[in-house]
Amino acid sequence: MPAFEYAPAPESTAIVDVAPSYGLFIDGAWAEPAEGGTLKTVNPGTEEVLSEVSVAGPADVDRAVAAARRAQRTVWGPMPGRERAKYLYRIARILQERSRELAVLESLDNGKPIRESRDVDLPLVAAHFFYYAGWADKLPYAGFGPDPRPLGVAGQVIPWNFPLLMLAWKIAPALACGNTVVLKPAETTPLTALFFADVCVQAELPPGVVNILTGAGETGRLVVAHEDVDKVAFTGSTEVGKEIARTVAGTRKRLTLELGGKAANIVYDDAALDQAVEGVVNGIFFNQGHVCCAGSRLLVQESVAEEFLDRLKRRMGTLRVGDPLDKNTDVGAVNSAAQLGRIQELAAAGEAEGAHRWSPPCELPDRGFWFPPTIFTEVAQSHRIAREEIFGPVLSVLTFRTPDEAVTKANNTPYGLSAGVWTEKASRMLWTAQRLRAGVIWSNTFNKFDPASPFGGFKESGFGREGGRHGLEAYLDVAH
């Protein structure tokens, strides 16, 4: 195979002006935290500190929730939907105008390739606001009765893998339905949420409608437990999701949880193999595998397994790992030292349990947090790498002989967020999809997202749906 050398093609960071420190965004203004306390956010590609953000404590959460309550009662709740829609459209347009700046910032703070933040995250972020702007004046026609009411104040906690996109998934439907929000971004990726606060100011959103509180798990805990929050929305680990479910149990709060996954990508022997290779690569190496719906288990039919793995390995050899800001990069930096540690620990467990580990030759930068694209073969269903979410660029390969066996193995997981089915036959695709216990099933493609399409899990992947008309339900007081 010819090896192409690529000249460096770095995206300039001059478009982003990161301040050395940030306060909290409460009631439409920047505020210092009542008790002080800061945390540093780093660029995971270089380990260099980007900025210091505030840690919100109990008094700050009180102030933010009170501001959100006031804004919901006096301004945002009573406002006609067609007027709320104008704000959402305005936010969407500003996000488009500032998309290059926000994409660069996202790659700096998160480590994801600029190609992804520029071509996937930011377009989807704007699309989400456009989509829910369209619903704001049509709620009586959404199928939830003639006069669906907002819930009130939403407390929202999001993870670090798609920082601005998860913010959009949380804030756009909440606002469209007339709720106000207190949102806590993840501690390793707070910057795009803070820039979003500036977008809200630019859009002249009434004060208190959106409040952004930075901090770590303890701040999230305070937001979730606050007694004047009506609705809790969380995306993150199953472990924290369970804790939140316990906190909210017995209160009148409404809850949606979007948790982890261990999706199966099923490749039948009649599939277009090169196309399936692309889908499997996208399924597990997109965003360094930091994707809750990642296709982290490959189930390939035994008769084509050898050939498929040959082609997959050849394709993996062409993935470029390195500087997230380089426009040619396919796989960027792992988000944090802690996440790298988790991936390393699970990969070591894979070897210890007897699976066979393989990565293409690949030079990793000296500084920063890196893990090469990796596959494990000879994986048994009992292995930890077949059961636990690795949340990194690591694929566990299993084989099957019959469709029944494929379905049984695919469903043999506590999770149920997504799945992929690769086959030429529509009948086989539908037969398989009907039997898979997963919220989203892609066929002959993977990781396709659209604001009009609902997303969410079965079993330990959580409950509730985000996106589409279904996504409105989580933010409306609908009698069942």
Binding residues for ligand NAD, rule: CB under 6 A, are 157-161, 184, 186-187, 216-217, 220-221, 224, 235-237, 240, 243-244, 258-260, 292, 339, 342, 389, 391
27 binds Mg ion (CB under 5 A): no
Q: What is the tally of helices (H) and strands (E) in the chain?
A: 16, 20
Between 210 and 267, CB nearer to ligand NAD: 210
Among 27, 106, 109, 230, binds Mg ion (CB under 5 A): 109
Between 128 and 221, CB nearer to ligand NAD: 221
Among candidate residues 294, 266, 218, the one with its CA nearest the CA of residue 431: 266
Task: Give the strand pairing for 48-54 and 38-43.
Answer: antiparallel
Partners of 466 in the β-ladder: 455
Q: What does 151 bind: Mg ion, ligand NAD, none (CB cut-off 5 to 8 Å by kind)? A: none
292 included as an active-site residue: yes
As given in the structure block, the two tokens for residue 297 are 């288990």
Element (H, E) at 391: none
Partners of 331 in the β-ladder: 321
As measured in angstroms, the least distance from the Cβ of 159 to Mg ion is 12
Contacts of 426 (CB under 8 A, 6+ apart): none
Which amino acid does the sequence have at 227?
E
As measured in angstroms, the least distance from the Cβ of 374 to Mg ion is 23
Task: Look up tokens 């929202």; give the residue.
Answer: 156
Among candidate residues 11, 116, 258, 389, the one labeled active-site is 258
As measured in angstroms, the least distance from the Cβ of 212 to ligand NAD is 12
Over the Cα atoms of the chain, what is R_g?
Answer: 22
Between 109 and 230, CB nearer to Mg ion: 109
Q: Which runs of consecutive H residues, i.e. helices, occur in 319-391? A: 337-352, 384-387
As measured in angstroms, the least distance from the Cβ of 301 to Mg ion is 41
Count of residues engaged in binding Mg ion, rule: CB under 5 A: 3
Which amino acid does the sequence have at 183?
L
Could you tell me which stretch among 119-127, 186-194, 272-280, 391-399 binds Mg ion (CB under 5 A)?
186-194
For the chain, the maximum distance between any two Cα atoms, rounded to a whole number of angstroms, is 66
Q: What does 68 bind: Mg ion, ligand NAD, none (CB cut-off 5 to 8 Å by kind)? A: none
Between 339 and 399, CB nearer to Mg ion: 339
Which amino acid does the sequence have at 480?
H
Between 260 and 451, CB nearer to ligand NAD: 260
258 included as an active-site residue: yes
- How many residues belong to the chain? 480
Interface positions with Mg ion (CB under 5 A): 41, 109, 188
Q: Residues with catalytic annotation?
A: 258, 292
